[in-house]
Every structure is written in C-alpha cells, then in structure tokens.
Amino acid sequence: MPALNLPTNNGELEAYTITNSPLPPLDFSAPPRFNRVAYSAAHVVANPLADDDPWLDQSIDWERTIAFRNYLWDMGLGVAEAMDTAQRGMGLNWSGAQELIRHSLEAARARPDALIACGVGTDHLPVCSSVTVDDVVRAYEEQVEVVEKLGGRIILMASRALVAAAQSPEDYQRVYDRILRQMKEPVILHWLGEMFDPALKGYWGADDHMAAMDVSVDIINSHADKIDGVKISLLSAEKEIIMRRRLAAGVRMYTGDDFNYAELIAGDEQGHSHALLGIFDAIAPAASAALAQLGVGNESGFHSILAPTVPLSRHIFKAPTRFYKTGVVFLAYLNGLQDHFMMLGGQQSARSLVHLAELFRLADNARVLRDPDLAAQRMRQVLAVGGIA
C-alpha cells in the first residue's frame, strides 16, 4: 500500500501507510433496491482554466459537474440540486443556480431512473433592513416559477431574507402558507440550522430549536398534502426523532444530520428517516452499498458499511460546519472524480492542511479511497503546495 508523510496537529510530520483496501466495486447490472428515499446533495466542479476572479466569479465545468450527477444516479442515489453543498449562496448565486438546474434536469430526462429535486430559495433578494415579508414571498414565487417551468421538483430552502424580515412566528406561517398553497407538486421543506449557515439563526421565529419546531410542525401538518417531506439539519439525532414522530402521516423525515445519519436512517420501532445528505456526495459508493443491504433486511450489513464513514463525516462537518464543502470536494479530487482541487469562491482554502490530512486518514479507515495509489499521489500534490515533501 502507498505511504506518505502527513502533518499532525502538533506541527510535526508522521509517516502514514494506507492500510485498508477500498470497498468492493458495486454491481450495476441491476439497479440497487432501497427501502429508503436517498438524495445526495451534489457539489459543482469549478472550471480551473477560466480567466476570472475566483472570489467573485463563478465558472463551472459543466461536463464534469453533470458527469458527477450521473455517477450518483448510477449508485441509485437521487440528486438534491443547487443546495448548499453546491455552494448555493456561498459562491453560487441564483443566476448560476438556474443554469445548474437546467443542465441537471436535462441530464435527468435522459435517464428514466434519475431522481432529482431542486433547491428554491430567495438568495437573489438582498438581505437588508428594508426587506419585507412580501418581498420574501415574491422572491420565493419567482424561483418556484423557474423550476416548475423546467419541470423540476422543489426543495423549499430556508431564507436568509425571511430571518431579516420576520418579526414573529406568524410571519413564517404567512410566507409558507402563501407558497405551499401554490405548489403544483408536493415539496421537500429544508430547515438548515445556524451551524451550517449563521444567517439562519432564529429560523421559524425562535432561537430555541424546540420552540422553532412547534412552529414548523404546525405549518407542515397544516399543509401535509403539499409536502413530500422535511429535511432538518440541526446535527441532533434527538431533535430529529422528536420531530419525526410529530409529522403527519405520509410526510417523510429526510435526515440532514451528517453526524448521526446511520442510526437515523436505520430507525427504530416507531419509524425511520430517509436521507438528503451532503456526506452522500463524498461517500456515494458506501452509501449505496449500505442502503442496498438495508433494503434486503440486513441491518448489520448496513451498519458494518456505513458506521466507519461516520467519523469521516463528523470531521468533514466539524465547526465551522459551513466549510464542510471543502472536504467534500477534496474527497472527490482524491478519488479521481475531478482533476483539480479548486472551488468557487476559493473555498479550497477554507480548511487547513492538517484538517485535510486527517480527512485522508479517516477516508482510508472508511474504505472510501477507491484508488489508494491515485489518492496518495494527489494528497502529496496538495501537501507540496504547503511545502511538505
């Protein structure tokens, strides 16, 4: 197995040898059968050859970006498009998101097995003191119209502008009542916690998550016929389970908990969560293999594959959690799914070399380095930029 020198958190270098063989290749002669709905929130591949200002502009390699979505569909996973994993609102603006959604829906139409839903928000609306609740409603309606005209299903994302405009929980009820009544097909709601986006602190009109849950559950259950499910990303298994048990019949809980997803997807005697996860971008083969085991009733096989990925995910999503996208793209680079480690907004610099070195070790432990020699070679190239031989 290949060996290399990796930095440690005490400022030294240690010799490291990859010790685990990758997971066996998946057999795609027949589509995998899951008993959970599973979406991967997919990243975009930046174009490193664009002559632009990387902090300000957004240049996307469309060929590799769409190829990655086909890779996820090959694994039996759905694509949650234009979400925060794609740097939505953090490098990818609404104009770029529209183009991404168009490209992805066009690719999906060529595949009868493709599951895709697209993020709709208000990120084209400036977040300022003058923004009103009516402005938020109009902004949501504008983005909904774009996606519905393209034939896409909708994930209704949380709104930074609504946090700025709302004066009470009733303002949230007013906005969601107005938007949900207009939906042509059931949508997925997205409650993204402040650990992922600090601008969303106090969503649903309360800083306390349990008080906020009361508001969101009331809205969801009042519009159950318009809601496929709700994704919450609070990194708390306890809160997700409490909310899951309060949802109206037929409304799915989609876990967005990148710390506790294995236990939440497995579920308990009172129910289980489905998945809409950023980490499934990084560990797609393991996620697919594990879900296939769960689909045939082999829960121990499910955990044996997925449990080793949890420490990796917790590291990728460690605080500041909003920088998790760097780790997701870095693992795609290590695995040869793109030819460079560049990101929109220069976000490849958001994590340290020490962080990336630990990610490498944990990816080895999780058996998600699909070509150890290539992964080691690419790790060395990244380290060389930091002067590490």
pLDDT at 29 over 80: no
pLDDT band for 93, please (50, 70, 90 cuts): very high
E strand residue ranges, 42-198: 78-81, 116-120, 154-156, 187-192
Q: Identify the pLDDT of residue 31.
A: 75
Number of neighbouring beta carbons within 10 Å of residue 237: 16
Name the 3-class secondary structure at 271. Answer: strand
Please compute the mean of the pLDDT values over residues 29-48 and round it to a whole number.
Answer: 93
Q: Identify the pLDDT of residue 312.
A: 98
Q: How far apart are CA 301 and CA 259, in angstroms?
A: 19
Please compute the mean of the pLDDT values over residues 118-131 and round it to a whole number.
Answer: 95
CA atoms within 13 A on the CB side of 321: 20
Locate the domains of the chain by residue range. Answer: 33-311
Q: Identify the pLDDT of residue 117.
A: 98
Please compute the mean of the pLDDT values over residues 21-35 and round it to a whole number.
Answer: 85
Predicted confidence (pLDDT) per residue in 246-299, tens digit? 999 999 999 999 999 999 999 999 999 999 999 999 999 999 999 999 999 999
Q: Identify the pLDDT of residue 266.
A: 98
Predicted confidence (pLDDT) per residue in 333-367, tens digit? 999 999 999 999 999 999 999 999 999 999 999 99
Predicted confidence (pLDDT) per residue in 60-87, tens digit? 999 999 999 999 999 999 999 999 999 9
CATH 1.10.3720.10, applies to 33-311: no
